[in-house]
């Protein structure tokens, strides 16, 4: 088993069900995708640091309040904990388009984490997400990245590949 230094994970559409046409802004809207919690628990057990990197543009436009975002985050953490999984950090871009260096596909969320964890080697980090904008910044930094629906069907399959060193 080969554990990555850091496993970066997108949130909506990767860990939990993406809400089409809206933001996940209510704890009741947080629904884990099948197998996602177990997959994260496997990364935890392998010794990988697990970090969520998520764009939440609604925080900039006012369609998503910070308090609602925090409630959603707490619910996500609780649902994962119920299945023995945890996140080591959550990095969020709360900005609108073209206003920052962290909204994916920019790589600021990844860079900030690498600065905070100087032991982590980018080539030993991985990213899993459901959009081209998730995998592009990771690949640009030399990471292996898995796009759901393209490279693998879901997070569980990505973690199979990651822990097999593929
Ligand atoms: Mg997504
Ligand atoms: Zn940003």
Ligand 1 centroid from CA 23, angstroms: 11
Give the count of domains, the chain.
1
Q: Is residue 158 situated within a structural domain?
A: yes
Q: CB 70: neighbour CB atoms within 10 A?
A: 10
Query: 92: which residues sit within 8 A by CB, 6+ positions away?
Result: 54, 55, 56, 59, 69, 109
Does the residue 155 lie in any domain? Answer: yes
Cα of 54 vs centre of ligand 1, distance in Å, is: 8
Annotated catalytic residue 5: no
What mean pLDDT do residues 112-129 have? 98
Residues surrounding ion ligand 2 at CB below 5 Å: 93, 95, 100, 102-103
Per-residue pLDDT reduced to its tens digit, 88-120? 999 999 999 999 999 999 999 999 999 999 999
pLDDT tens digits along 2-32: 899 999 999 999 999 999 878 899 999 999 9
For residue 114, what are the domain limits? 6-163
12 catalytically annotated: yes
Q: What is the pLDDT of residue 1?
A: 58
């Amino acid at each position: 088993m080969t554990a990555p230094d850091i496993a970066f994970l997108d949130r909506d559409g990767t860990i939990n069900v993406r809400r089409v046409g809206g933001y996940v802004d209510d704890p009741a809207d947080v629904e884990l995708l099948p197998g996602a919690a177990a997959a994260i628990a496997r990364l935890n057990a392998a010794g990988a640091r697990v970090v969520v990197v998520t764009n939440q543009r609604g925080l900039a436009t006012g369609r998503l309040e910070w308090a609602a975002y925090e409630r959603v985050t707490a619910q996500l953490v609780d649902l994962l904990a119920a299945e023995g999984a945890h996140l080591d950090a959550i990095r969020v871009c709360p900005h609108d388009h073209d206003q920052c260096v962290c909204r994916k596909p920019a790589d600021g969320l990844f860079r900030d984490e690498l600065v905070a964890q100087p032991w982590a080697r980018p080539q030993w980090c991985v990213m899993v997400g459901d959009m081209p904008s998730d995998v592009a910044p990771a690949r640009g930094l030399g990471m292996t990245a898995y796009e759901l629906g393209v490279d693998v069907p879901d997070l569980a399959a990505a973690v199979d590949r990651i822990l097999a060193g593929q």
